[in-house]
Amino acid sequence: MNIPLLHRLRANPDQFVPLVDLGSDIDGVRRAIDELESFGFSIEHHPYRGVAYRGHSGRLCPDQIEYELNTERVGRRIAVWNRVSSTNDLAAGASASPANDGLVVLAEEQTAGRGRRGRVWTAPPRACVLMSVLLFPPAELDEVRWLTALGAVAVADVVAECTGREPKIKWPNDVRVDQRKIAGVLVERGAGAVIGIGLNANLLMSDLPDELQASTTSLRALLDRELDRSELAKAIIQRLDYWYLLGRARGAESLSPRWRSLSEHVGNRVHVITRDREWEGVVADHDLIAGLTLALDERRSVQLPSAEILDLKAVDLHGSAGSGNRRDSHGSLGL
C-alpha cells in the first residue's frame, strides 16, 4: 500500500488534491488510490479538483502501522489477523523462536479473549485495539508485575496523548479515565513473556451491557469521534518500545516515576492483602518496586513491598473495599 500517498492526503483532510500533485504517473496514482479505497479508506473523487481524504479505514492496516514505526525491539515483526482465539495465544505460540522477540500480534476479533483472574474478555469486532507482544526480557525485567506496568504505562501514555486527559492506573492492570476502565493488560509467562493489551478504542457505550456502562469508557466515548486503530496500535508499540528499551538500559526502576504519577491510589484509602495479613490505610506513596507506603493512622505507617501485595482495593466512602467494578472492564464480563 502507498502509505506516503495516504499521509499526503491525510495532511489536508477534506481538501481536494489534484491527481497531478500526487505523482507524475497518473495511472499509478489512480491504482494506489483504488488500493486505499479497497482497504476501507474513504476518498472522494471530483472530476476536476482531484481527490479528498474523508476518513480512515475501519480495519487495521499493517502497512500503516509499520510505516515509519522506527522502533528497535517491539514491533520488529507485526502480524494482523482477522479473527483469533486470543492474541496472547498466538504470541505465546511464537515463543519457541527467540527470533520472534518483539513480535506484535493484533486481531480484529477474538473468540476466546482473556482477562485477569480467568475472566472472559469480549469485544465487538473492530471496536478495540487487541494486541499481544512477545518479549524475552532480561532477568531483571522478567516479572509479571513489571511487564504489566510496562503495558499499562504505554497504553496510558497513548490515552493521555490522544485525549489530553491524565489516565490513572488502578492496581495492577486497569487503565482508567474518570474511574472508568478504558484498557486492561494481561501478562502471561511461558517460554517468553506475553503482554496482552485491550484498549477500548471505538467501543460504543451502547455495545455494553447495562451493568458495565458506569464503570467503562472508550476513546470514542471521551472524544465523540472514531479513531484510527492502526495509528493507536502504532503509538502503543512505540511507547512499549520506548519504556522497554529504557528498562533494559537503566533497569526496572526507570519505569517507576511515570508509573507512580499514574497510580490511582496515591492519597486514597485502600484495603491491602499481603501474604500474612490485611491492612487498611491511606497510600502515601506507591512505588513500582518498593511498593506501598501506607499511613495506617496519624502516627503509624507501614512499607509493603510490591512483591508481597496480593490484592489492593480502594475503600469507598462507606468503608467497604471494592470499586464496584467487580465484573472487570468493558467486554470482560467474567462469565
Can you give the binding site for ligand BTN, defined by CB under 6 A? 86-88, 110, 113-116, 119, 121, 130-132, 173-174, 184-186, 196-198, 328-329, 332
Dig out the grid coordinates for 331 from the structure. Answer: 467486554
Nearer residue to ligand BTN within complex by CB, 115 or 281 = 115
**Least distance in angstroms from the C-beta of 43 to ligand BTN:** 31
Nearest-angstrom CA–CA distance, 260 and 291:
10
Residue 132 near residue 189 (C-beta atoms within 8 A): no
Rg (C-alpha) for the chain, rounded Å, is 22
Residue 210 near residue 195 (C-beta atoms within 8 A): no
**Least distance in angstroms from the C-beta of 66 to ligand BTN:** 19
The CA-based angle 225-211-154, given to 5 degrees, is 50
Nearest-angstrom CA–CA distance, 14 and 311:
50
Nearer residue to ligand BTN within complex by CB, 29 or 128 = 128
Nearer residue to ligand BTN within complex by CB, 8 or 59 = 59
DSSP string of 284-328, one letter each residue: EEEETTTEEEEE-SSS-EEEE-GGGEEEEEEB-TTS-B--S-TT-
Task: Determine the residue with CB nearest ligand BTN.
Answer: 184
Nearer residue to ligand BTN within complex by CB, 33 or 156 = 156
CB contact burial 171-207 (16+ within 10 A = b; e otherwise)? bbbbbbbebbbbbbbbbbeeebbbbbbbbbbbbebeb
**Least distance in angstroms from the C-beta of 166 to ligand BTN:** 20
Q: Among all chains, which residue has been given the C-alpha cell 495479613? A: 277
**Least distance in angstroms from the C-beta of 283 to ligand BTN:** 21
Q: What distances in angstroms separate CA 65 from CA 132, 164, 184, one per listed residue?
A: 15, 22, 21
Q: What distances in angstroms separate CA 13 from CA 17, 42, 54, 70, one per listed residue?
A: 10, 11, 6, 25
**Least distance in angstroms from the C-beta of 242 to ligand BTN:** 20
Q: Which residues contact 164 (CB under 8 A, 6 or more apart)?
A: none
Nearer residue to ligand BTN within complex by CB, 71 or 329 = 329
**Least distance in angstroms from the C-beta of 279 to ligand BTN:** 24
Nearer residue to ligand BTN within complex by CB, 51 or 185 = 185
**Which residues, in sequence order, are bridge partners of residue 77?**
103
Q: What stretch of H or E contains 187?
A: strand 180-189
**Least distance in angstroms from the C-beta of 102 to ligand BTN:** 17
Nearer residue to ligand BTN within complex by CB, 155 or 294 = 155
Residue 184 near residue 178 (C-beta atoms within 8 A): no
Nearer residue to ligand BTN within complex by CB, 197 or 304 = 197
Nearer residue to ligand BTN within complex by CB, 2 or 200 = 200
**Least distance in angstroms from the C-beta of 123 to ligand BTN:** 7
**Least distance in angstroms from the C-beta of 116 to ligand BTN:** 4
